[in-house]
Amino acid sequence: MSATLFTGIGELATCEPTLGDGSALGLVHDAAVIAEDGRVAWVGRASDAPAADERVDLGGRAVVPGFVDSHTHLVFAGERSAEFEARMAGEPYTGGGIMTTVAATRAASEGELRANASRLLAEMHRSGTTTVEIKSGYGLDVATERRILEVASELTPETTFLGAHVVPAEYAEDREAYLKLVTGEMLAACAPFARWVDVFCETGAFDEAESIRVLAAGIAAGLLPRVHGNQLGYGPGVQLAVEFDAASVDHCTYLSEEDLDALVYSDTVATLLPAAEFSTRSFYADARALIDAGITVALATDCNPGSAFVTSMPLVIALAVREYRMTPAEALVAATRGGAAALRRTDIGRLAPGCSADFAVLDAPSHVHLAYRPGAPVVAQTWHAGTVLIASGHVEE
Ligand code: NIG
Ligand code: FE
């Protein structure tokens, strides 16, 4: 395959601190990137760039790594706008609407699920996302959980079995039977299509002992753990995630001092989902406490029809800057390199030699515009493995 030189990059955020200006963003001005065989082959000042077979001039725009959206529930049917409307009128979010989506998802064909998820994935590509994690959890029976993960695995290698999302209504009187199903027959049917196992460890979903059973069974089936925790209240989710060396604990809206201490001495990433807090009118996680303690933070959309029907990582970055008081640089790192860490990946989320050539070209002179211009279509082009996915902006070749 031939080498392509991307030049005319006014500001390149590599998100690799050993490159460029040495900041966390690894900034290079008047930069160029060479992509070869889908990977970054060279990064530096345009004036130092070696020759390549092809040349793409990005016209002075800013370039950032493709966003790594490490937490989504993209495969589902139906929508819950009435629930959202009621919430905006004062109803609290409890997660009770999950069963509405489960009913719609069970009734949908595989083709309908694929079409819906593909449409949402296309929205994500348009806003600069190049890697997406997708969870099951809206089937809650063996056949539908498996169908969801089959569709998800067509769209991404980062698939997560979340059969332990809630106990479905038909098992309300016999939780033990559902636990046996999730850790037995359902897990066996789903594990071939999943990389990760997740559990919603929360009052009203699964308690600590149940969550331990779910994670342990998933690990025994060859899956890697991650946890939904501390979304609706304080609880054991964060500490459980750390004990299991989970790649990530997600939400972290309610964090105790003990939770912070546990995360500091762990390899577990705290994944923050400000779009869920925005769309449920929750208060916002204490991102500053996490960052100031040196804990690795990721930002993700949590895209789902209930708590956050959001596909845009630029919106998530804008919320993180406005509501979490993260700097634009911290938010960009969390949305790229942080997401990669939450998936235990080093080949994505930064633009350094050897990494996948995944990047977003901004119709803007700097990465700050991701937060500065909320709602504007700031991403002009999205490139994945050196190939253009979306190009609404002009590309000179
Ligand atoms: O991450 N917390 C649990 N699950 C989803 C919401 C699911 C729903 O409301 O449909 C979340 O917010
Ligand atoms: Fe979620």
Residue 102 has pLDDT above 80, yes or no: yes
**CA–centroid distance, residue 338 to ligand 1 (Å):** 21
| Ligand number nearest to the C-alpha of 165 | 1
**CA–centroid distance, residue 162 to ligand 2 (Å):** 10
Distance, in Å, from the CA atom of 27 to the CA atom of 208, rounded to the nearest integer, reads: 43
Length of the chain: 397
Per the CB < 8 A criterion, the answer to whether 352 and 366 are in contact is no
User: What residues does CATH 2.30.40.10 cover in the chain?
Assistant: 3-65+350-391
* CATH architecture designation of domain 68-342: Alpha-Beta Barrel (3.20)
| Pick from 45, 48, 40: nearest CA to 66 | 40
Atom of ligand 1 nearest to the CA of 232: 2
Look at ligand 1, atom 9, and give the residue with the nearest C-alpha. 306
Q: Which residues contact 325 (CB under 8 A, 6 or more apart)?
A: 287, 288
Ligand 1 neighbours, Cβ below 6 Å, are: 73, 95, 97-98, 101, 200, 228, 231, 276, 302, 304-307
166-215 pLDDT, tens digit each: 999 999 999 999 999 999 999 999 999 999 999 999 999 999 999 999 99
Q: Which pLDDT belongs to residue 390?
A: 85
| Pick from 246, 152, 149, 157: nearest CA to 189 | 149
Q: Which pLDDT belongs to residue 144?
A: 98
Query: Is it true that domain 3-65+350-391 has CATH number 1.20.1180.10?
Result: no
User: What residues does CATH 3.20.20.140 cover in the chain?
Assistant: 68-342
Per the CB < 8 A criterion, the answer to whether 163 and 140 are in contact is yes
pTM: 0.97
343-364 pLDDT, tens digit each: 999 999 999 999 999 999 999 9
131-140 pLDDT, tens digit each: 999 999 999 9
